Amino acid sequence: MTSEKIVVLISFFLFALLSSAFAVDEKTPKEIDSIMHASPPELNAKASALLEKKYPDEDWDAYNFPSFVYTSDEIETGYKIAVKEPQLLKQTFCYCFCDSMGHASLLSCFWKDGKVGGAFDSHGAYCNICITQAMQALLVYDLGASEKEVDKLMETRFKKNIEKQKNKTKNISEGVSNECNECGD
């Protein structure tokens, strides 16, 4: 075989290899966008299926979840993520702004003081943002996003919450309140 033919074959092989890699890359952002804008029931269907796939023989009863975990399928899935993927939640900022309650990360919404294996924190069960973020984090991480990329995706997704919190903080520091004294909205 001539060197010219070898170069052509190698070029063809590299082109084919790179083309298939780009096809995956083009699909992944669409999947990530779909996850980041899915409803909690849609996220739950995907996240619970992924947990079942990753942990098919898991004895979930062994975790002795408190009763508040069983108030919805989404909440149950969120707490299952917290027991199996705590490092991911620990690296993720929570955009319900529970840091004002002393929460250091999304993990603290599910585990008191962010201590895995200790007592469960009920905050996650009563906060749609925490549950949504836990499911989103699991799903995009499974697609290959790094923990840092997961956190950046959350920041982008919850941009409106960030802006609202900044305005609220600014108004408080200026002595102005946009909140209803009756209900806190």
The span from the CA of 29 to the CA of 73, in Å, is 27
**Contact criterion met (CB below 8 Å) for 141 and 150:** yes
pLDDT confidence band for 26 (50 / 70 / 90): low
Q: Please report how the helices 73-84 and 128-142 are oriented relative to each other, as an axis angle in degrees rounded to 10.
A: 50
Q: Which residue in 130, 153, 152, 42 sits closest to 81, CA to CA? A: 130
pLDDT in tens, 57-83: 999 999 999 999 999 999 999 999 999
Joined together, the tokens standing for residue 6 give: 């070898």
pTM over 0.85: no
